[in-house]
Amino acid sequence: MILNERMKVAGQREIARNIFELVLEGELADEIREPGKFVHVRAGETMDPLLRRPISIADYDDGRITLIYRAEGDGTRVISEKERHGQADVLGPLGNGFPVEAGAPGTKALLVGGGIGVPPLYGLSKRLKEAGVEPVHVLGFQSDDVVFYEEEFSRLGETHIATVDGSRGTKGFVTDVMGALGHEFSVYYSCGPLPMLKAVADGMQGTEGYLSFEERMGCGIGACFACVCRTDTNDPGYVKVCSDGPVFKAGVVSI
Amino acid sequence: MNRLQVELPGLSLKNPIMPASGCFGFGKEYAQLYDLSKLGAIMVKATTLEPRFGNPTPRVAETPAGMLNAIGLQNPGLEKVVTEELPWLEQYDVPIIANVAGSETEDYVAVAERISEAPNVHALELNISCPNVKCGGITFGTDPKIAGELTRAVKAVSSVPVYVKLSPNVTDVTEIARAVEAGGADGLTLINTLVGMRFDPRTGRPVIANGTGGLSGPAVKPVALRMVYEVSRSVSIPVIGMGGISDVDDVINFMSAGASAVAVGTANFVDHFVCPKLIDVLPDRLDELGIGNITELIGRSHRI
Ligand SMILES: Cc1cc2nc3c(=O)[nH]c(=O)nc-3n(C[C@H](O)[C@H](O)[C@H](O)COP(=O)(O)OP(=O)(O)OC[C@H]3O[C@@H](n4cnc5c(N)ncnc54)[C@H](O)[C@@H]3O)c2cc1C
Ligand SMILES: Cc1cc2nc3c(=O)[nH]c(=O)nc-3n(C[C@H](O)[C@H](O)[C@H](O)COP(=O)(O)O)c2cc1C
Ligand code: FES
C-alpha cells in the first residue's frame, strides 16, 4: 500500500562530496516488497520548492529505509539539512522495482550502476545474495571524491569501480570494466544515466536484463503523464516511469 | 442539511471541492489513496477524439512556488475513455466533469456528443484554453467569436450542461466569458495555466522540451483570483474557480471572489491527500468565520 507518512529521521550523513545517506523510520518501510522502488519526498514545509523529489530506496528493513542522494538543486539541498529526530514527508513506496527472482540461485548476476543510479543496486544486491544469487558489481562515478558504498558493495560480492578521470579504480566508463570481466551472467540489472543504460544494454544483448529509468515527475503515481517514455513493444506505445517503472525489462523502453 | 452542499447546472455537489483536469488522470491512481466518493466532483483528464501521445519530455519544470507543464493533452482517446475509464469510475458516488479537447470544431462536437451520454458524466468542461498543443486548444479560447461559436455547436449536441474553461492568456477575460455565455454555456471554469518559460543557464535552452509550458500552482493564485472576481461580476452563469488552491483559506477566498465551487490541480502533486483534507477542515473554518452554509460565501466580495 502507498502511504504518505511523516517519517522520523534516524540519521543523516555526508558519505562523499555532496552525497548524503538519509535513514528514515516509519511504517512505510514495512510496505516495501522489492528493491528498486522509490519514494517521493517533500523537501520542506513551504511552497518553494514546490514539487516532491523522487529518490530510490537504497535499502530497507525493520521499519527503516535508507536513501542515498546527491544534494544538488534547491530541493535536495533542503533535504540534506534534515537532522536526526526531525521529520520527512514521504510518499511511497512507489513504482515497480527489480525482480530478484530473475536471477537463478547458484548463478551470477551483473549489477551496473552510474553515479546516483548506484543506490538502488545496494538493496538489490542484498536481496540477490539472500536468494543465493552471486552479485558482481560494476559502479561508475565521475571522480574519487564522489565514490560511495564501495566497502558495502564489496562485502556482498566482487566490486569494480570506474571513474571518468581515473582517480579511483579503472579509468573510463562502466562498459570498459564490463568488457574485461569474463564471467557468465544469468541476468543483469542497471541504473544510471541514459547513455550508460544504452551502452550496458547493447553490451549485454542476449542476456535477460532490467533497467531503471529516470524522468522528471509531477504526481509520481501515474496520474499526470509527466514522466512518459516511448516504447517499441507494448500496446499504447508508451509507459509511465513512475507507475509502470522505474524498472523495465531491457528492450521495453526505446533508448 | 449539508452545509457544504452546492447546486450547479447538472451538478449536485456534496461539497465544492474537486480535482482539476489533468492533475488526477481518470481517478484510478488517487483511488489507491482514498475513497473518491468523498469528492464533490472529479474533472477528468482532457479527452480527444483520437488517442494522443503528447509532447516530448521533459514535460514539467519547477518554478518558484509553481510549475510549468507541457503534457500536450496525452490521453487514451474517446473510445477508451467511454468504454474503460468512465465505466470504472461508476463504482464511486461522484459526478464526473468530462474535459473535452480537440483541434477542430468537429472534434469537440464528436467527443461532446458521445462522452455526455456516459451515465456518470454530469457536465462537460470545454477545454478551449490548453496552451500546449499546436492547433486547437487555446486558439479557440482567445477569440471571443470563435469561442462563442464553438460553445453553441457543442451545446447543440451535449446531453449535459456545458462549462467552458477559460484561458488567462488574454487581454480581457470577461470578453470571452460573455461570448461563451451568449453561446449558451451553462457555467465557466477558470483559470487554465499561464504560458511561461524556464531556461537552463548551462545550455541556454528552455528546460521544457516544448519550449513553453503552462504555469500553475500557488504562483498563479493572485491572477486566478482577479480573473474569477472579474468574470463572476460580468456574467450570470456560475464559475468554478481554480489556480493555486492549496489550503482552506484559498477555497474561502475563491468563493468570496465569486466562485461557486473550486478545483484543485497542482496541489495534488504536493499533498496527494489535499482534496479530502480540505473537505474535512472546511466546516471548522466556516464555524470560525461565522458562516452557516458555504453558499453564503459565493461572491460575497461583490456585495461589499
Ligand atoms: C525513479 C527515480 C529515482 C531516483 N533515485 C535517485 C537516488 O536514489 N539518488 C539521487 O541522488 N537521485 C535520484 N533520482 C534523481 C533525483 O530525483 C533528482 O536528482 C532530484 O529530483 C533533483 O532535485 P534537486 O532539488 O536537486 O534539483 P532541482 O534542479 O531543484 O529540481 C527541479 C525539478 O526537476 C526535477 N529533477 C531534476 N533532476 C532530475 C532527475 N535527474 N530526475 C528526475 N527529476 C529531476 C526535480 O525533481 C524537481 O522537480 C531519481 C530520480 C527518479 C526519477
Ligand atoms: C500537469 C498538468 C496537466 C493539466 N492538464 C489539463 C488538461 O488536460 N485539461 C485542462 O483543462 N487543464 C489541464 N491543466 C490545468 C489545470 O486543470 C488547472 O486549470 C491549472 O493547473 C490551474 O490550477 P492549479 O494551480 O491548482 O494547478 C493541467 C495542469 C497541470 C499542472
Ligand atoms: S509523474 Fe505523474 S504520471 Fe508519472
- The three state secondary structure string of chain A is CCEEEEEEEEEEEEEECCEEEEEEECHHHHHCCCCCCEEEEECCCCCCCCCCEEEECCEEECCEEEEEEECCCHHHHHHHCCCCCCEEEEEEEECECCCHHHCCCCCEEEEEEEHHHCHHHHHHHHHHHHCCCEEEEEEEECCHHHCCCHHHHHHHCCEEEEECCCCCCEECCHHHHHCCCCCCCCEEEEECCHHHHHHHHHHCCCCEEEEECCCCCCCCCCCCCCCEEEECCCCCCEEECCCCCEEEECCCECC
Q: Whose CA is nearest to atom 26 of ligand 2?
A: B265
Supply the pLDDT for residue A243: 97
The pLDDT > 90 percentage for chain A reads: 92
Residues of A with CB below 8 A from B61's CB?
Answer: 216
Number of A/B CB contacts below 8 angstroms equals 104
pLDDT tens, chain B, 304 aa long: 799 999 999 999 999 999 999 999 999 999 999 999 999 999 999 999 999 999 999 999 999 999 999 999 999 999 999 999 999 999 999 999 999 999 889 999 999 999 999 999 999 999 997 766 655 566 788 899 999 999 999 999 999 999 999 999 999 999 999 999 999 999 999 999 999 999 999 999 999 999 999 999 999 999 999 999 999 999 999 999 999 999 999 999 999 999 999 999 999 999 999 999 999 999 999 999 999 999 999 999 998 6
Residues of A with CB below 8 A from B32's CB?
Answer: 1-2, 221
**CA-based radius of gyration for chain B:** 18
Q: For ligand 3, which residues put their CB under 6 angstroms from it?
A: A 217-220, 222-227, 240, 242
Q: Measured between CB atoms, which of A4, A51, A238 is closest to B269? A: A51
The model's pLDDT over A158-203, given as tens digits with 9 standing for 90+, comes to 999 999 999 999 999 999 999 888 889 999 999 999 999 999 999 9
* pTM for the whole structure: 0.96
Query: pLDDT at residue A237 above 90?
Result: no
With an 8 Å Cβ cutoff, are B69 and A226 in contact? yes
Which atom of ligand 1 is least distant from the CA of A120?
A: 8
* Dihedral angle computed from the Cα positions of residues B112, B147, B75 and A219, in that order, rounded to the nearest 10 degrees: -120
Which atom of ligand 1 is least distant from the CA of A72?
A: 26
How far is the alpha carbon of B269 from chain A, nearest alpha carbon, in Å?
A: 4
Query: B153: CA distance to ligand 3 center in Å?
Result: 34
Tell me which chain B residue has its CA closest to the CA of residue A236. Answer: B76
With an 8 Å Cβ cutoff, are B60 and A217 in contact? yes
Is the minimum CB–CB distance between B51 and chain A shorter than 8 Å?
Answer: yes
Tell me which chain B residue has its CA closest to the CA of residue A229. Answer: B57
Which site among B200, B266, B270, B275 would you substitute to test the A interface, given the most A Cβ atoms closer than 10 Å to its Cβ?
Answer: B270
Q: Measured between CB atoms, which of A48, A223, A226 is closest to B30? A: A223
Which atom of ligand 2 is least distant from the CA of B246?
A: 26
Residues of A with CB below 8 A from B71's CB?
Answer: 224-226
Strand partners, A20: A14, A69
Q: Measured between CB atoms, which of A52, A216, A238 is closest to B53? A: A238
Greatest alpha-carbon pair distance for chain A in Å reads 52
Is the minimum CB–CB distance between B114 and chain A shorter than 8 Å?
Answer: no
With an 8 Å Cβ cutoff, are B60 and A220 in contact? no
Residues B167 and B176: their CA atoms lie apart, in Å, by 9
B135 part of the active site = no
Please choose, from the candidates A65, A55, A54, A53, the residue with its C-alpha nearest in 3D space to the C-alpha of residue A28: A65
